[in-house]
């Protein structure tokens, strides 16, 4: 079992956990880990926010059954059964020049992890973070600690209204084209960022999101197409040249288990309700 040294709530939809896992202490920028609360729980790939002297910290955004289970059960027991990693290929850190970091919701965690390393390498950093709502805006102070400028938007207008594509175009109009864009968040928004980069002739490195099982390249669940060649997000990624990714293929695979995910969440919510009723007796 692995100890959860800290669990800190950020908003009703997000929290940070620090896990004691010595094998994660030397993770490179942009790598991730896979955790299971119990050995029967779903394996959850989580981007590493930062490494510590005892393990690593992660941002967890509650999106479905497994992340909700993690939030609820860690309030009962600060232990996790399994932690695997560091996984994936580290981000290629070098001096690109002017770099724009673009994150959506939970994507701010890998963006901070990579952006800090790029800043230390001498890049001039600017950043844009977009949330669905103000509850998806967090860790802005950490982003500001190494970025020359940071702008925050929300799609519902609870902060400055805007989506990733509009925010990106506004940046280009005001500051000009960056030498590199680095984006992380959901695949749809990343694909919109890539569309602008393709139109404007801007290099872009994107984090892709896929289902994952074994994370060692055997199950093929995380496959995607890059330059019409099959790649695996777990061993070849999660960072790719965004202009070479077949985003339509990636987005189509996202919906494979949509019904099962809804059913799993509904079942767990009913289970929590039963537990709450029993506790009142």
In what side-by-side order are the strands of the sheet with 124-131?
160-161, 149-154, 124-131, 98-104, 180-184, 203-207, 239-241
- Residue 246: phi and psi, rounded to 5, are -85, 90
Q: Phi and psi of 162, rounded to 5°?
A: 170, 155
How many CA atoms lie within 13 Å of 257's alpha carbon, on the beta-carbon side?
10
Predicted local confidence at residue 197, as pLDDT: 97
Which tens digit of pLDDT belongs to each residue from 49-80? 999 999 999 999 998 889 999 999 888 889 99
The arrangement of secondary structure in 98-207, i.e. its CATH architecture, is 3-Layer(aba) Sandwich (3.40)
Q: Contact at 8 Å (CB) between 10 and 139?
A: yes
Query: Does position 48 have pLDDT exceeding 80, yes or no?
Result: yes
pLDDT tens-digit readout, 82-106 = 999 999 999 999 999 999 999 999 9
d(CA 104, CA 30): 16
* Per-residue pLDDT at 81: 93
In the chain, where the domains are located: 2-87, 98-207
**Domain covering 2-87 in this structure, CATH number:** 2.40.30.10
DSSP letters of 243-272? GGB-HHHHHHHHGGGHHHHHHHHHHHHHHH
Judged against a pLDDT cut of 90, whether residue 127 lies above it is answered with yes
């Amino acid at each position: 079992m692995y100890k959860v040294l800290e669990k800190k709530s950020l908003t009703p939809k997000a929290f940070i956990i620090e896990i004691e896992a010595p094998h994660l202490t030397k993770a490179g920028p942009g790598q991730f880990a896979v955790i299971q609360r119990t050995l029967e729980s779903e394996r959850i790939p989580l981007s590493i926010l930062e490494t510590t002297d005892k393990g690593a910290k992660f941002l967890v955004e509650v999106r479905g059954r497994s992340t909700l289970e993690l939030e609820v059960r860690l309030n009962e027991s600060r232990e996790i059964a399994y932690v695997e990693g560091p996984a994936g290929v580290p981000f290629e850190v070098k001096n690109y020049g002017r770099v724009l970091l673009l994150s959506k919701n939970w994507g701010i965690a890998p963006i901070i992890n990579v952006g800090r390393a790029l800043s230390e390498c001498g890049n001039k950093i600017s950043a844009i973070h977009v949330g669905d709502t103000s509850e998806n805006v967090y860790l802005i102070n950490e982003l500001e600690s190494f970025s020359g400028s940071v702008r925050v938007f929300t799609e519902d207008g609870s902060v400055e209204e805007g989506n990733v594509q509009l925010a990106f175009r506004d940046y280009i109009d005001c500051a000009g084209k960056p030498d590199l864009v680095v984006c992380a968040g959901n695949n749809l928004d990343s694909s919109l960022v890539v569309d602008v980069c393709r139109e404007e002739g801007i290099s872009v490195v994107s984090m892709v999101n896929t289902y994952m099982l074994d994370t060692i390249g055997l199950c093929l669940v995380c496959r995607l197409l890059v330059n019409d060649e099959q790649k695996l997000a777990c061993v070849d990624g999660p960072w790719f040249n965004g202009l070479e990714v077949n985003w339509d293929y990636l987005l189509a695979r996202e919906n494979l288990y949509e019904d099962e995910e809804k059913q799993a969440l509904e079942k767990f919510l009913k289970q929590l309700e039963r537990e709450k009723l029993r506790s009142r007796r």
